Amino acid sequence: MTDQAPAAPTESPDIPGKPTSASRTTLSHIMTHGDTNLLGTVHGGVIMKLVDDAAGAVAGRHSGGPAVTASMDEMAFLEPVRVGDLVHVKAQVNWTGRTSMEVGVRVLAERWNESTPPTQVGSAYLVFAAVDADGKPRRVPPVIPETERDERRYQEAQIRRSHRLARRRAIMELREKRAAEGFED
């Protein structure tokens, strides 16, 4: 590992903003026996992959190119998902920074053979970084909230971002303190 600073984002002229709806998407998938865990319900990792897939599509659409998962926050499993459930993963960009985006995801499930409304079974927030062909950070368009709900999500995303940054700072300070005291991690 070197002591060099991270590469600066690829410079580009001002990028026009994009409305929330421009990249919003839904990914649907029917759950089968191959998706189950030892309890006979759908494995959480299967749901997490669908969440990451949908969020990645949204991030790529919004940024106009490749984007990589930087972190996943607050993955909440609210209800078990069963074999035969039709799972809908709804994702949208909630907030954008210079080179990163927070994508909010809601996971809904409904029985494939019933006409009952879907139930929310999970949610997550992921941060994606836009990258160029060399894997270097690149600028992303600002997101333009279109509704009161979009505006609320934007504001909540700013709070989550400040918490992520504060947590990272606190951890780094603790590690530096422990290293100064002679502890090795």
Residues 6+ apart with CB under 8 A from 176: none
How does the average pLDDT of the chain come out, rounded?
91
**Nearest CA-CA partner of 47 in 67, 58, 64, 31:** 31
Return the domain boundaries, the chain: 18-181
Other C-beta atoms lying within 10 Å of the C-beta of residue 112: 12
- pLDDT at residue 1 tops 80: no
What confidence tens digit (pLDDT) does each residue in 49-99 have?
Answer: 999 999 999 999 999 999 999 999 889 999 999 999 999 999 999 999 999
What confidence tens digit (pLDDT) does each residue in 112-165 have?
Answer: 888 889 999 999 999 999 999 999 999 999 999 999 999 999 999 999 999 999
Q: What angle do CA 133, 139, 141 make, to 5 degrees?
A: 120
Q: How confident is the model at residue 13 (pLDDT cuts 50, 70, 90)?
A: low
- pLDDT at residue 10 tops 70: no
- pLDDT at residue 42 tops 80: yes
Query: Class assignment of domain 18-181?
Result: alpha beta
Amino acid found at 178 = R
**What whole-number distance in Å separates Cα of residue 94 and Cα of residue 146?**
11
Q: How confident is the model at residue 15 (pLDDT cuts 50, 70, 90)?
A: confident
Mean pLDDT within 39-53: 97
The answer to whether the beta carbons of residues 73 and 45 sit under 8 Å apart is no
